Amino acid sequence: MKKTVFKGAATAIITPLNENGVDYEAFGRLIEWQIAEGIDAIVAVGTTGEGSTLTDKEHREAIKFCVDTVAGRVPVIAGTGSNDTEYSIELTKYACEVGADAMLLVTPYYNKATQKGMIASFKAIADASTKPCILYNVPSRTGCNLLPATVAELAKHENIVGIKEASGNISQIAEIAALVGDSIDIYSGNDDQIVPILSLGGVGVISVLSNPMPRATSDICKLFFEGKIEESRALQLRLLPLVNALFSEVNPIPVKAAMAAMGYGKNYLRLPLTPMEAANEEKLLSLMKKENLI
């Protein structure tokens, strides 16, 4: 059995931005708060971290900053996936060199690779990595779906140790679990499906919700692992309205508004993303007040 990168909740952390670039002061405070609140791992510069609109220099600096700030207290997983395999290889090599504990590799977006193409691409990146790699399947954003048989094939690679499954298709995730056994760890990529995926043998979640609520998100997993299934499910369902509000517009638009309201940087996004519609933001902030977040 391969080594598990983390068990529980990892925050797909936002990258605080302003007109001048990355707001490292806010980023550092957010990382420290996440660790103090008991988060189990941090994913830097993924989808939620706006990796798609950071420059290459910013992307690399943000990964290194996160690694250096965390300083080994929890695993840091670097978002190094791309639709350009060669670029992903170079970014992965860099993240390995600066001390990231694992890589998160999204399926190739826009070019919509075939299953054969995805196998070849992921194997090439994993071959170049000196650290474990976690696949990331999110077809609603990328236009391609990593099928269960493909995951099973990729699970044979010694460096491919996990998958963040955000297809939303529980039947597909069950099929992956049936095919891969304990050769690869399954993480929920959707905050409204943590408990269902844990019940299929998943080991945690890579979460947006845990940006404003790291402890509660981690607790959903911990309660489940302790056999307190009813409590885990009740917490998941209690937080469902907030989860829905955090996805009322495309991620990371709502969570950037949420974290700005909590004092972690400005509500600043790079085009083509724009700030939340007023009505959606009002509902989000109202739900946050009910949870005593603001």
Map out the domains of the chain as residue ranges.
8-226
Q: What is the structure's pLDDT at 112?
A: 87
Q: pLDDT tens digits, the chain, 294 residues: what are they?
A: 689 999 999 999 999 999 999 999 999 999 999 999 999 999 999 999 999 999 999 999 999 999 999 999 999 999 999 999 999 999 999 999 999 999 999 999 999 899 999 999 999 999 999 999 999 999 999 999 999 999 999 999 999 999 999 999 999 999 999 999 989 999 999 999 999 999 999 999 999 999 999 999 999 999 999 999 999 999 999 999 999 999 999 999 999 999 999 999 999 999 999 999 999 999 999 999 999 999
Residue 137: which of 171, 162, 111 has the closest Cα? 162
Instruction: Please provide the size of the chain in residues.
Output: 294
Q: What is the structure's pLDDT at 19?
A: 95
Q: What is the structure's pLDDT at 152?
A: 98
Whether 123 sits among the annotated catalytic residues: the reply is: no
Would you say domain 8-226 falls under CATH 1.10.238.10? Answer: no
Q: What is the structure's pLDDT at 82?
A: 94
The string of pLDDT tens digits covering residues 66-97 is 999 999 999 999 999 999 999 999 999 999 99
Contact 49, 37 (CB under 8 A): no
Contact 151, 179 (CB under 8 A): yes
Among 123, 136, 222, 256, the active-site one is 136
Q: What is the structure's pLDDT at 2?
A: 84
Among 131, 164, 222, 283, the active-site one is 164
Under DSSP, the state recorded for 159 is: T
Put simply, whether the predicted model's pTM sits higher than 0.95 gets the answer yes
Q: How far apart are CA 294 and CA 280, in angstroms?
A: 16
Contact 105, 125 (CB under 8 A): yes
Q: What is the structure's pLDDT at 229?
A: 98
Whether 136 sits among the annotated catalytic residues: the reply is: yes
The string of pLDDT tens digits covering residues 217-271 is 999 999 999 999 999 999 999 999 999 999 999 999 999 999 999 999 999 999 9
Q: How far apart are CA 55 and CA 273, in angstroms?
A: 16
CA atoms within 13 A on the CB side of 249: 19
Burial class, 39, CB count within 10 angstroms (exposed 0-12 / middle 13-18 / buried 19+):
buried
